[in-house]
Structure 1
Amino acid sequence: MALMVSIIGETRSAKFGKALIFMAWLAVASALCWSETVWRDEVRALSLALQGDNFIDMLRQMHGEGHPALWYILLRAAYIVVGSPIVLKILALTIAAAAAYLLVFRLNLPLSIMLLSLCSSFLIFDYAAMSRNYGISMLIVFLIVLSWEKGTRNGILPGLLFALLANTNVHSVVLVGGFLAYWFFDLILARPRPSVTEYRALATAAAIAAVGIVLCFVTVYPTFNDTGQNDLAGKSFALLALGALAAPSSHFMEFYPDRILELIVAYPLASRIFATLMSALVYGSLLALANRPPAMIAAALVLLGLSLLFTLVYPGGYRHQALWLVFMIAITATAHFQREKAGVTGVAAAGGIVKLGRLCFLLLLALQAASGLEKLNRAFVAEIPLSRSKDFGAFIQSRPDLKDAIIVADPDYLVEALPYYVSNRTYLMREERFGAIVRYTRNARLSLSLTDVLQTARRLRQSEHVPVIVLLSQRLDQINAPVSLRESYVWRLSLTPEEIAAFLSAADLVKRFGPVAGSDETYDAYLLK
């Protein structure tokens, strides 16, 4: 497979145009990154990375969290240098910028794919403005493509990159399998037959990748977040697997912009129509690789692999689903510019099919660009944040009398984003301990009442002799009858009018925070009397 490099002899105007495109992307992504309020999953990773006295102690304490170690190692190393939580944004934006640079200057994709990818929600927001570990996957995937030809001579370089990719997140293990499948089918379909040396290089890369995959699973499992996994009790494993294989596109509905998703929720008939359209776009996109069967097989296997993962292990959000788009972009770059090997099956007879597939893929990317525009509108026009944690931090700083206050919340996870903005201690009611990292375990108080919340707040004030702030996601003045509400995965909160009256007589509403977009991190803040 060919090494992707900048085109020799590219005109100066073309280079200048690419530079302008990249700078425009960087300006937009930077503005989104610095304006965006961090939310709990972002700060949770930093809190985990800063555990323990050293790297080894940190790795020991994060075992079972649900993610492999690479992101946490990078965060801790960056924090040692910078000494501020701002490393979250700096690191995420730097990684995304490196990936975008490769996309513009090195992968040499068709202009339409390059531009739509840059405008997509995943590249300007989810993998850049949002400080998570999925942007590293994108960067490593692009590096794999760029280093392929040189690496396939002995298999060591791609193997090392595969191992790194497997330790960005569990979902990227599927991408590793896709690259290995691409390599394998490229060898067995080639004519004349490749030499034994080429197969040995594949075996070497696969062995190194296997070490990385094992390291990933040893770090992640057994997970202490046992409520975060899909509950398969009473369900047929075989039927679930067959369903995932039969209709994998059903797990990729978040490829639609939010406006369409809102329409789908409001109108069940629209849901069926848009699900069918998404199936056509996803499956049709595979046809863009029809003139390179190894690439098409690999992309299809990644699609099925992620679908199985979403069905049998973890539910998939947009940040997970978009990894398939990243893989498609990378494979498209490789297939588009690879020197065709003589005699590879199916190379010559796929012109019309390929054009149809490319149209489907462009439409799919156009939907991501529409989602990207929604993110820009939300951030700079509507000015609706992802979380109200920043506003809460400003409120605390405006109240010197609350600088030592203990913060409790329901749901507990509302406190996870707060350490980025305030230094107040936080208490996790369901686990009955101080801390800012929630363990989604069944070994906790799965059911709480508002009376339990009030008793916990009173006990903390009595034992710690400091003010206690209670954050509630439920608007108590809007509840007029007994209710039992599901929160998170298996938590429940029960409220009755009598409990609400008792709580309101014991605590003052000091701040009501406004709406959010894309999360549930808004709440009312009560100060215990």
Structure 2
Amino acid sequence: MAVIVSAIDEPRSAKLGKAMIFMVWLALASALCWSETVWRDEVRALSLALQGDSFIDMLRQMHGEGHPALWYILLRAAYVVVGSPVVLKVVALTVAAAAAYLLVFRLKLPLSVMLLSLFSSFAIFDYAAMSRNYGISMLVIFLIVLSWEKGTRNGILLGLLFALLANTNVHSVVLVGGFLAYWFFDLVLARPRSPLTKYRAFATAAAIAAVGIALCFATVYPTFNDTGQNDLSGENFALLALRALALPSSHFMAFYPNSILELVVAYPLASHIFAALMSVLIYGSLLALADRRPAIIAAALVLLGLSLLFTLVYPGGYRHQALWLVFMIAIIALSPRSQREEAGVADIEAAGGIVRFARLCFPILLALQVVSGIEKVNQAFVAEIPFSRSKDFGAFMQSRPDLKDAVIMADPDYLVEALPYYVSNRTYLLREERFGAIVRYTTNARLSLSLADILLTAHRLQQSEHVPVVILFSQRLDQITAPVSLRESYVWRLSLTPEDISAFQSATSLIKRFGATAGSDETYDVYVMK
């Protein structure tokens, strides 16, 4: 195991260099954070956190949302102090800054891995500027590394950190399993044999972690978002599981920058080539750990666990996939190359050329994340294309005093979830036929809608509420010339016909159209009922 210490004996120049590196990261991450327009998944968490009259009420109402409670508790606690939605950005950036500090100053990593990790897309944007719960996972993982002491490990402390990690997000439960696997195989494969006291510390940590995992699942299940899962009807469960085990790298294509992903979409042949290259990089990264058998077993189990989760429960986005990269960083910090198991060293040395090649794979993977980070910086400060138009919409609404009391509805419904950060107008959910700012992805809703249904609902609201009714569409209705049935969200359908579009346009006025976004569908055509 690595000794993770503050580098007391580091030269002054090295400390100054690290301080400058950290300050560059902090300036960049802060600029991205404050320039980023929050989108629905970020504001949804804040809306959930502010439910109820107390923390207990909030926890009761968020039960079944799909995420454990830690992120919501942090947001509500910060809101109690600050009293402003800005806590969403403050908490996310603070958590990310703490993790970045540990990465730079405390984790014992090769300089190249530290730098590439620090300026990767997940470290400067997805876990910092993007206000989500996944940045907490990175912080807790690094705290676990710091607590992984040489010699005797504190089972209670590590168990509590494992339990905390399990309650950051469901995906991190897999990471907890990875850490426990690393610890277990480190004990089993150790020579000479580990004393019984070390097994007791492991058992203590595993027991506390199990309680944390149980708490996570008790908070998440049963979910009220019953449509927000993979539809496995008609699928062979065993075949799906075997496919996930055989080709886990296929679930991690988001490790490529957007420029490559666009090429993959445009050219099907390229998709096979880049999928094969991703397999080489991922399996090569694992092979680089071959001289540390507990490490390669743990990293492989996390890779397979996440692949099964993406296949059988919920498809994984970049924020989920990048957790494997963070776990790999932790494993590297815990297992310096200088420490090798005696068993199998001769075989590794015989295949030294392959292993040396494999050790290039993980830095290449991290370099790809840096390219993705550069793309994010370019979008924010050069192209100036926001992730969402919700901020622009909020500014537009504030410029229209005649709409200050308007009810806002949207198709798809989830377009309204980002709005409470910027406007105070009431929002109405078409599918569930209720006022609210939190969409429930449930089968107990209107799964199919027509434009005529939306117009009828708008008329009814206008008559009952006696206020203007604003309707947002992500679709450009004037570009549709034939009947279509559009799939939205997981199982929603929207039916459009030229006749219904004509009737809708006669009853409404198009008052604003917003431009393109970078990575989301949160742009709007804004209509108001006549």
TM-score using structure 1 length: 0.98
- Alignment partners' CA distance in 2, 1:290 and 1:347: 12
Letter in 1 for 2:181: A
Q: What is the SS of the residue equivalent to 1:108? A: coil
Contact 1:191 1:341 survives alignment (8 Å): no
Q: What is the SS of the residue equivalent to 2:179? A: helix
Matched, 1:159 2:159: yes
- In the alignment, which residue of structure 2 is the partner of 1:361? 362
- In the alignment, which residue of structure 2 is the partner of 1:42? 42
- In the alignment, which residue of structure 1 is the partner of 2:461? 460
Matched, 1:372 2:373: yes
Deviation at 1:247, TM superposition (A): 0.2
- In the alignment, which residue of structure 2 is the partner of 1:435? 436
- Alignment partners' CA distance in 1, 2:137 and 2:85: 22
Letter in 1 for 2:257: P
Cα 1:17–1:348 shift into 2, 3 Å: farther
- In the alignment, which residue of structure 1 is the partner of 2:348? 349
Relative to structure 2, which stretch is displaced further, 188-197 or 354-363?
354-363
- In the alignment, which residue of structure 2 is the partner of 1:97? 97
Q: What is the SS of the residue equivalent to 1:349? A: helix
- Alignment partners' CA distance in 2, 1:451 and 1:151: 70
- What does 1:475-514 correspond to in 2, within 5 Å? 475-514=476-515
Letter in 2 for 1:283: Y
Cα 1:154–1:94 shift into 2, 3 Å: closer
- Alignment partners' CA distance in 1, 2:41 and 2:133: 10
Deviation at 1:150, TM superposition (A): 6.8
Matched, 1:88 2:88: yes
- Alignment partners' CA distance in 2, 1:154 and 1:27: 36
Contact 1:174 1:306 survives alignment (8 Å): yes
Deviation at 1:346, TM superposition (A): 3.7
- What does 1:4-153 correspond to in 2, within 5 Å? 4-149=4-149, 152-153=152-153
Contact 2:7 2:105 survives alignment (8 Å): no
Contact 1:3 1:147 survives alignment (8 Å): no
- Alignment partners' CA distance in 2, 1:156 and 1:344: 31
TM-score using structure 2 length: 0.98
- In the alignment, which residue of structure 1 is the partner of 2:339? 340
Contact 1:291 1:348 survives alignment (8 Å): no
Give a deviation string over 1:68-98, Cα, whole Å, max 9, x none: 0000000000000010000000000000000
- Alignment partners' CA distance in 2, 1:151 and 1:425: 58
Deviation at 1:374, TM superposition (A): 0.2
- In the alignment, which residue of structure 2 is the partner of 1:254? 254
- What does 1:301-316 correspond to in 2, within 5 Å? 301-316=301-316
- What does 1:255-404 correspond to in 2, within 5 Å? 255-336=255-336, 340=339, 343=342, 345-346=344-345, 349-350=348-349, 351-404=352-405
Deviation at 1:341, TM superposition (A): 7.0
- CA-based RMSD: 1.3
Q: What is the SS of the residue equivalent to 1:5? A: coil
Letter in 2 for 1:340: Q
Q: What is the SS of the residue equivalent to 2:103? A: helix
- What does 1:204-219 correspond to in 2, within 5 Å? 204-219=204-219
Letter in 2 for 1:470: I
- In the alignment, which residue of structure 2 is the partner of 1:245? 245
Letter in 1 for 2:217: F
Letter in 2 for 1:349: I
Q: What is the SS of the residue equivalent to 2:252? A: helix
Deviation at 1:108, TM superposition (A): 2.4
Contact 1:240 1:311 survives alignment (8 Å): yes
Letter in 2 for 1:388: R
Matched, 1:173 2:173: yes
Letter in 2 for 1:497: P
Give a deviation string over 1:27-55, Cα, whole Å, max 9, x none: 00000000000000000000000000101
Give a deviation string over 1:395-442, Cα, whole Å, max 9, x none: 000001111000000000000000000000000000000000000001
- In the alignment, which residue of structure 2 is the partner of 1:528? 529
Q: What is the SS of the residue equivalent to 1:370? A: helix
- Alignment partners' CA distance in 2, 1:150 and 1:156: 16
Q: What is the SS of the residue equivalent to 2:65? A: coil
Contact 1:292 1:346 survives alignment (8 Å): no
- Alignment partners' CA distance in 2, 1:7 and 1:242: 45
Query: Deviating runs (4+, > 6 A) in structure 1?
Result: none
Percent of residue pairs bearing the same amino acid type? 81
Deviation at 1:347, TM superposition (A): 8.3
